[in-house]
Chain A
Amino acid sequence: GQNIDQPTEMTATEGAIVQINCTYQTSGFNGLFWYQQHAGEAPTFLSYNVLDGLEEKGRFSSFLSRSKGYSYLLLKELQMKDSASYLCAVSNTGGFKTIFGAGTRLFVKA
């Protein structure tokens, strides 16, 4: 079967660092994505990992371990505007069928 697990909610303080974990089991693997979605808006792309290791992009970093079926999104220097849902998604073999996790709602407090 195919399954993507991530925590339902997290709370963190402005200026802090937060790590959002994602574990997956899918039939085939062709890349893992992280998306940000603010309430009432469309998902927007944050990061893509296809090889093991860490990808850094400004305040956001994403890590992948294919052998463990595990990824995390790291957000540094949290800002209030980072309050949103973060979706972990995996593309299966062939690349175009993307399975999304239920998302993690992040609340950033002052």
Chain B
Amino acid sequence: DAGVIQSPRHEVTEMGQEVTLRCKPISGHDYLFWYRQTMMRGLELLIYFNNNVPIDDSGMPEDRFSAKMPNASFSTLKIQPSEPRDSAVYFCASSLYTFPMTGDGDQPQHFGDGTRLSIL
């Protein structure tokens, strides 16, 4: 059973360039989340989708960031133009659960391995 797949695993690019991060959620999961993790700010929720529709993007830092989910099996997070302060690990997560979780097998969000982004 494949987990959440993110690409690329590592990205190094120069300031001002466009960066596109990709995510394939677990099949059948109808929620998808994008997080950013830094030493200073920890793990922050940027945006989440339900059934491909953006529900809450209040965590998106500024207009340079955009996220799309054109279908149930693919999402992108784009930064244009990129800046050094965008350097972080970006995680995608997906879930299929209701609150409160009732079953022993219930799991909250399943995280991908992350994309380590460095903007020079």
B113 touches A96 (CB 8 A): no
User: Which residues of chain A (54-110) have a CB below 8 Å from chain B?
Assistant: 87, 89, 91, 94-103
Q: Which residues of chain A are near B112, meaning CB under 8 Å?
A: 42
Cβ contacts under 8 Å, A89 to chain B: 43
Taking Cβ atoms with an 8 Å cutoff, the residues of A that contact B are 30-31, 33, 41-45, 48, 50, 87, 89, 91, 94-103
Q: Residue B48 contacts which of A41, A43, A87, A96 (CB distance < 8 angstroms)? A: A96
Is B91 at the interface (CB under 8 A from chain A)?
A: yes
- Contacts A31-B99, A43-B43, A87-B43; A97 near B56 (Cβ below 8 A): yes
Given contacts A33-B108, A42-B111, A96-B31, contact A103 B100 (CB under 8 A): no
Closest to A102 in B: B42
Specify which chain A residues have a CB less than 8 angstroms from the CB of B55 in the assembled complex. Answer: 96
Q: Which residues of B contact A30 (CB under 8 A)?
A: 99-100
Evaluate whether A31 and B101 lie within 8 angstroms (CB atoms) in the complex, with A44-B111, A97-B48 already known.
Answer: yes
> Quick check: is B109 within 8 A (CB to CB) of the other chain?
yes
Q: A95–B108 Cα gap in the complex (Å)?
A: 10
In the A-B complex, the 5 residue pairs with the closest CB atoms = A95-B99, A42-B111, A100-B43, A102-B42, A50-B100
Q: With A31-B100, A42-B112, A48-B108 known to touch, is A98 a contact of B45 (CB < 8 Å)?
A: yes
B14 at the interface (CB under 8 A from A): no
Question: Does B25 have its Cβ within 8 Å of any Cβ on chain A?
Answer: no
B107 interfacial by beta-carbon distance below 8 Å: yes
Q: Is B18 an interface residue (CB 8 A)?
A: no
A29 vs chain B, min Cβ distance (A):
11
Say how far A91's CB is from chain B's closest CB, in angstroms: 7
> Which single member of B44, B98, B107 contacts A100 (CB below 8 Å)?
B44
Min CB–CB distance A55 → chain B (angstroms): 11
Which residues of chain A are within 8 angstroms of B42 by Cβ–Cβ distance? 87, 100-103
